[in-house]
């Protein structure tokens, strides 16, 4: 039974067909990426999963049961960290727990032991503006995982960072994920990131988005910080080629 | 690290050029009055204005308090009502289209014409002053708040929605704090309008207040006393402005770490 499965999802916004018969699944403890050209409808997919949008056709199942509005199935990490600038880091990290109704003291007690692991030791009482981009994104990721939701939704989480910070964070995420095995759905348009982090990769076409390919990444982990094995390099090349057929520029 | 001292010394150094230009303007004025021999009934020298302030300090003090009371009461009423309306409009967007035209029209009414009418309707007491101060400051504050709510980052709202937050919770956790910088910008502008509106309301009809001092001094050809009242009203405005700036620096301390 898949942690998350989408079957024949079709979404039309106004006159525009955005998602066309999308079928995909994520197993428990699996890291799955969705790779697609810009404007393919990736964010529409996320709005669908967070309950902001209903599909015209198709079903979404969570652990075998159909998903209902406000099912609290997903912990969402938006592209930019979306930390509340007026809240201290600790209060940003506990935000999801507070919204769920957990008392503040209890939420802090739950989160505090995780702060060092996320490189935030000693920064609990700083404001977001006092932190670097990489630290802010780590705080945002901690805010995401402490919610204990069945699936983590990461929406291009490193897209707004500089190249060096992005690489550091990808490596760090890989090691955290290997330890915790969160069920994760990552949306990205970075081929290297998808290959480095994923167990499986779905490639979307341009709008209206269909699943045009599915790849399994078999290379041993950790993959970052050392030379990629030849099959992973070959996979990167194939992915890139598949994507480029969709940009209309080849 | 700076070679000398703390933030206060730096602030004084920052204020020096402004202080210098104000003092220079006053010095020029004083010199002009002395050299030209112009009558103090037309243009009194700054030294004479200061002397009159000292001589009439009891009168000026007794008339400053009513002005301050009218300003603060009127502004508080205006803020409270503006806040209530802003929340209402945020939750019921249709109200915005229904109410904004009325508020915009209220801003087009010339104070010179409205003030005597309000005094005619509500007498010489505190009520007409509160109403006039509110009339002048209500709409800017309402706009500041409503625009402030709308400045909330969509990603923050999407995040809170994904956490299962209700509309009211999103308002309290994200939209309200997002409006704070706008609120303070509106506050600093409105507080200066508030003092002017209070003085004008008194000028049109009151028993006491800086507006009355100015009116009486004008009628008895005492420009020195008029200017003394003007200096006090400016000082009052500057104090209120500084007070809002201090509150802002504390409340928005997350902005400039």
Q: How far is A86 from chain B (nearest CA, A)?
A: 5
Q: Let me know: does A187 contact A34? Beta carbons within 8 Å.
A: yes
Residue with structure tokens 């670097």?
A132
**Interchain CB distance below 8 Å, A52 and B158:** yes
Helix (H) or strand (E) holding B80: helix B57-91
- Distance (Å, whole) CA A19 – CA A202: 14
The strand pairing partners of A34, in sequence order, are: A187, A202
Q: How far is B183 from chain A (nearest CA, A)?
A: 15
Q: The whole model's pTM is what? A: 0.84
**Is the torsion defined by CA of B95, B98, B100, B103 positive or negative?**
negative
Chain A, nearest residue to B153 by Cα: A82
Report ipTM for this prediction: 0.85
For an interface test with A, the pick among B153, B157, B162, B175 (most A C-beta atoms closer than 10 Å) comes out as B162
B50 inside 8 A of chain A by CB: no
Q: How far is A155 from chain B (nearest CA, A)?
A: 11
Spell out the domain ranges in chain B: 43-251
Cα angle: A116, vertex A118, A123; to 5 degrees: 60
Question: For position B2, what pLDDT does the model report?
Answer: 43
**Chain B residues touching A147 at Cβ < 8 A:** 163
Across A230-239, B97-106, B235-244, the highest mean pLDDT is recorded for: B235-244
- Distance (Å, whole) CA B232 – CA B61: 9
**Interchain CB distance below 8 Å, B257 and A130:** yes
Question: For position B7, what pLDDT does the model report?
Answer: 75
**Chain B residues touching A153 at Cβ < 8 A:** 162
A74 inside 8 A of chain B by CB: yes
Q: What is the pLDDT along chain A (250 residues), one digit of tens a residue?
A: 788 999 999 998 888 888 999 999 999 999 999 998 877 787 788 878 877 788 889 988 888 888 776 667 888 898 888 999 999 999 999 999 999 999 999 999 999 999 998 889 999 999 999 999 889 999 999 999 899 888 899 988 888 788 888 888 888 889 888 888 999 999 988 898 999 899 999 999 888 888 988 999 888 888 887 788 888 888 989 998 888 887 765 4
In order of start, what are the domains of chain A with their CATH numbers? Answer: 4-73+151-247 (3.40.50.300), 83-148 (no CATH)
- DSSP string spanning A230-241? HHHHHHHHHHHH
**Interchain CB distance below 8 Å, B255 and A78:** no
Supply the angle between the helices B46-55 and B57-91 in degrees, to the nearest 10: 90
**CATH for the B43-251 domain, from 3.40.630.30, 3.90.1530.10, 3.40.920.10, 1.10.3720.10:** 1.10.3720.10
């Amino acid at each position: 039974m898949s942690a998350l499965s989408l079957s024949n999802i079709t979404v039309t916004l106004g006159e525009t067909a955005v998602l066309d018969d999308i079928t995909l699944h994520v197993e428990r403890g699996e890291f799955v990426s969705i790779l697609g050209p810009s404007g393919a409808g990736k964010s529409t997919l996320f709005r669908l999963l967070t309950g902001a949008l209903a599909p015209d056709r198709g079903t979404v199942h969570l652990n075998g049961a159909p998903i209902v509005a406000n099912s609290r199935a997903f912990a969402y990490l938006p592209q930019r960290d979306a930390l509340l600038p007026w809240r201290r880091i600790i209060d940003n990290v506990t935000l999801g727990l507070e919204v769920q109704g957990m008392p503040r003291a209890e939420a802090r007690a739950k989160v505090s032991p995780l702060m060092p692991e996320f490189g935030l030791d000693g920064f609990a009482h700083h404001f977001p503006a006092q932190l670097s981009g990489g630290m802010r994104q780590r705080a945002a990721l901690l805010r995401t995982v402490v919610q204990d939701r069945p699936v983590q939704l990461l929406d291009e989480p490193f897209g707004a960072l500089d190249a060096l910070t992005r690489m550091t964070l990808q490596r760090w995420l890989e090691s955290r994920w290997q330890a915790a095995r969160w069920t994760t759905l990552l949306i990205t348009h970075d081929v290297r990131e998808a290959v480095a982090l994923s167990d499986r990769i779905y490639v979307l076409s341009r709008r209206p988005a269909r699943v045009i390919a599915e790849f399994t990444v078999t290379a041993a982990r950790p993959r970052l910080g050392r030379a990629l094995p030849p099959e992973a390099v070959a996979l990167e090349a194939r992915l890139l080629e598949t994507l480029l057929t969709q940009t209309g520029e080849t | 690290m700076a070679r000398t001292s703390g933030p206060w010394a730096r602030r004084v150094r920052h204020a020096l050029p402004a202080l210098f230009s104000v003092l220079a303007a006053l010095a020029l004025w004083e010199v002009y009055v002395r050299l030209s021999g112009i009558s103090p009934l037309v243009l009194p020298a700054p030294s004479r204005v200061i002397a009159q302030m000292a001589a009439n300090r009891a009168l000026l003090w007794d008339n400053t308090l009513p002005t301050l009371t009218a300003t603060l009461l009127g502004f508080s009423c205006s803020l409270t009502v503006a806040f209530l309306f802003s929340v209402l409009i945020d939750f019921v967007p249709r109200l915005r289209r229904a109410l904004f035209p009325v508020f915009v029209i209220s801003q087009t009414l010339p104070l010179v014409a409205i003030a005597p009418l309000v005094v005619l309707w509500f007498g010489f007491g505190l009520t007409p002053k509160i109403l006039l101060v509110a009339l002048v400051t209500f709409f800017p504050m309402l706009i500041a708040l409503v625009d402030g709510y709308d400045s909330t980052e969509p990603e923050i709202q999407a995040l809170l929605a994904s956490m299962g937050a209700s509309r009211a919770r999103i308002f309290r956790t994200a939209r309200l704090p997002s409006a704070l910088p706008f609120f303070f910008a509106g506050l600093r502008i409105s507080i200066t309008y508030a003092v002017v509106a209070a003085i004008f309301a008194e000028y049109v009809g009151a028993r006491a207040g800086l507006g009355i001092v100015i009116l009486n001094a004008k009628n008895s050809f005492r420009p020195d006393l008029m200017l003394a009242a003007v200096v006090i009203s400016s000082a009052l405005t500057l104090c209120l402005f500084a007070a809002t700036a201090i509150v802002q620096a504390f409340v928005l301390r997350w902005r400039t770490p």
